[in-house]
Chain A
Amino acid sequence: MSDEHNGFHAPGTFVLAIIFLVTFILLWLGHAKWLTDIWEMY
């Protein structure tokens, strides 16, 4: 395999991707919780 494919060339984007995925999961769960709360209000 060439050097081009061996290194870790975009560590900043890797961290951004992790932030995105964690946010996404929290949004999804938070969304479910918020919806449930609002439905209980009615």
Chain B
Amino acid sequence: MSFEKRTCEISGLEIEKNSESMIKLNMATAIIFFAIGGAAGLLVLLTRWPAIHLLPVEWYYRWLTAHGLLALLVWIIFFEVALVHFGSVTLLKSRLAVPILSKITYGLMLGGTLLVVVMVLGGQADVLFTSYVPLQAHPLYYLGIILFAVGSLIAFIHFFINAVVAKKEGEYKRTLPMVSFGIMAASIIGIMSIAHGAAIYIPTFLWSLGIIETIDPSAYRLVWWGLGHTSQQINVCMMVACWYGIAAFLFKAKPASEKLCRSAFVLYILFINVASEHHLLVDPVFSTWHKIVNTSYVMHLAVLASMIHAFAVPASIEMGLRKQGYNNGLFEWLKKAPWGNPAFSATFISIVLFGFLGGTTGVIFGTEQFSIIRHNTWAITGHFHGTVVAGTTIAFMGMAYFLIPVFFKRDLIMPGVAKLQPFVYGTGITILSITMMAAGTFGVPRRHWDYNFSDAPFGYQFDSTVDIFMGLVGIGGLIAVVGGAMFVFVTLGSIFKGNKRA
């Protein structure tokens, strides 16, 4: 079928017009919310840093809620919607099947986000990211979340509509290309995740309106983590798809065994949902048998998938570079890799940090014996900054550096800053993540405005070593904020002011 498209001179990709405008819109929106979420993170950081302790208590929890929502959900999912379009239209050389659906998606997600932000910063939703009942927010907060979720659900469903249309029109033969396959796995998990979100947020919305009398807190926690953790696996799948994508675009690299890598995506789909039980290891309601099956067995099948990808992607990059002639010794390919290209450096940093910071600690903390000690300490925050920030966010940064010239037809501004940015951000997040985990090991609580509990009837004095870690978290966080600002400056600057290509 004929449709309006152009051929990108940088990548050789055929870009269809309708999907192009939606990819641009979602990507730019994602970066704007990354900037706001990052600024919220800075306020939280400067409050948890004992030497500064910036915000009063109410505002601390509001900005913390906003930081969680904007950085963990909004930035990431807007970017993922751009990737859904990229994987189901551009990579399949196809067309956007139902353009109006993309516009509805965007409208619902943006409207939902604005509603949530207004409610949170207006002091109507001091319930933190998990919004555990019986804490209750204003009904419009829950409505905002539901609108955002419905918007992203439509985007994930749209992936399949696009893929079916492409197949019918003969754009691909047997199966989806590797990157699209990863995005398809993410879309399946996305639908699963949002089904859990609907199952818990709709009753909670009705409860906030007074239509339902009570929500069982343990049922809430169980179903909410079907959303809360499963949605993180959308991020992991999308991140891995970006790794494969950058390896393929820059080096024409293919995994040694595509079948194995595709099977690893299937492991995510099958096992990650039940593995979300590790959030509930200290919950008294669920049986020990239930917890052990989920966290000592099932979780490791999902972890196995990440290990397969984490080795398959560097191996494919190595094979690609060896084919280009970098064959001396074990590591010439790594030394001669294009470290000055931020799309590559961000991808490689994401792989290494996700493995060492997020992956190892996730397995350790998800073990029942350790979880009981680490639960609700700052170590958990350190862990997920190693996964979602050091892993997903840095991988998306790399992808943004690749996609901006392709879709916006503009060169990156200040290439020197772009070149340094993944290293600065990666260094900051590494220091932040490790020192958060170190402080958490001493029992420093996550989320808490005043970790010394100075106004409590029974105060508590931590070991003085903790003060060093608290200060180092602040320093690491500031370096990360500088790296984040560099990313926003370069990407938004390039989108609006970069030199135009023909």
Contacts and interface: CB of A to CB of B under 8 A. Distances in A.
Contact of B318 (A10, A23, A31, A34): A10
A38 B319 contact: no
B146 to A, nearest CB: 40
A12 B311 contact: no
A40 B360 CA distance: 24
Chain A interface helix/strand/loop/mixed: helix
B315 A10 contact: yes
Interface stretch (B101-109, B327-335, B476-484): B327-335
A20 B34 CA distance: 31
B370 A31 contact: yes
Interface in B330-361: 330-331, 333-334, 355-356, 360-361
B448 to A, nearest CB: 18
A24 B310 CA distance: 14
A38 to B, nearest CB: 6
A39 B356 CA distance: 25
B364 A28 contact: yes
Nearest to A19: B356
Contacts of A31: 364, 370
A13 B441 contact: no
A19 B416 CA distance: 32
Nearest to A17: B311
Contact of A24 (B330, B360, B373): B360
Contacts of A35: 370, 373, 441
B364 A13 contact: no
Given A9-B322, A16-B314, A34 B441 contact: yes
Given A20-B355, A35-B370, A35-B441, A12 B334 contact: yes
A16 B75 CA distance: 32
Contact of A10 (B256, B363, B370, B441): B256
B364 A12 contact: no
B442 interface: yes
B435 to A, nearest CB: 14
B256 A15 contact: no
B360 A28 contact: yes
Interface residues of B, number: 24
Contacts of B310: 20
B441 A12 contact: no
A23 B256 contact: no
Interface in A1-42: 5, 9-17, 20, 23-24, 27-28, 31-32, 34-35, 38-39, 41
Given A9-B256, A35-B373, A38-B441, A20 B356 contact: yes
Given A20-B355, A35-B441, A13 B370 contact: no
B254 to A, nearest CB: 10
A34 B443 CA distance: 13
B360 A23 contact: yes
Most chain B Cβ neighbours within 10 Å, of A15, A28, A34, A41: A28
Contact of B315 (A13, A20, A38): A13
B463 interface: yes
B334 A27 contact: no
B463 A13 contact: no
A11 B331 CA distance: 9
Most chain B Cβ neighbours within 10 Å, of A10, A23, A31: A10
Interface of A: 5, 9-17, 20, 23-24, 27-28, 31-32, 34-35, 38-39, 41
Given A34-B441, A35-B370, A39-B373, 10 more contacts: A9-B322, A12-B330, A13-B311, A13-B318, A15-B330, A23-B360, A24-B360, A27-B360, A27-B361, A27-B364
Interface of B: 256, 310-311, 314-316, 318-319, 322, 330-331, 333-334, 355-356, 360-361, 363-364, 370, 373, 441-442, 463
